[in-house]
Amino acid sequence: MTERGERAVSSGAEGSPRALFRWECRCQPTPVLLATYDDRGRINIKMRDRYWHIEGVVQTVCPRCGSEHALDLRGSSPVISSRPAGSPAR
């Protein structure tokens, strides 16, 4: 695992390897999964019985600790930022 909260977990279909990374909040010993994303810039979010596939920027709040997180996949490498719960907005 990297310090940024990502980890490769599988490969793509049709024989083409595609890295899938976990976007996590590390507020507890077992990290909270916020979403997954691939090396093509697609963000995958599962919420109950719905699946969301997004490209670009996603902002979310951890359901456990309330920290705000942002994932920006518009550039050549992912930009992951987080702000602890209760800290002032920038």
Domain boundaries of the chain, sorted by first residue: 20-83
pLDDT for res 16: 59
Residue 77 pLDDT: 81
pLDDT per position as a tens digit, 40-63: 889 999 989 999 999 999 999 999
User: In the chain, which stretches have pLDDT less than 70?
Assistant: 1-17, 88-90
The CA-atom distances, in angstroms, between 43 and each of 2, 4, 20, 63, 90 are 18, 16, 10, 18, 24
pLDDT at 42: 93
pTM of the model: 0.72
Residue 2: predicted pLDDT: 37
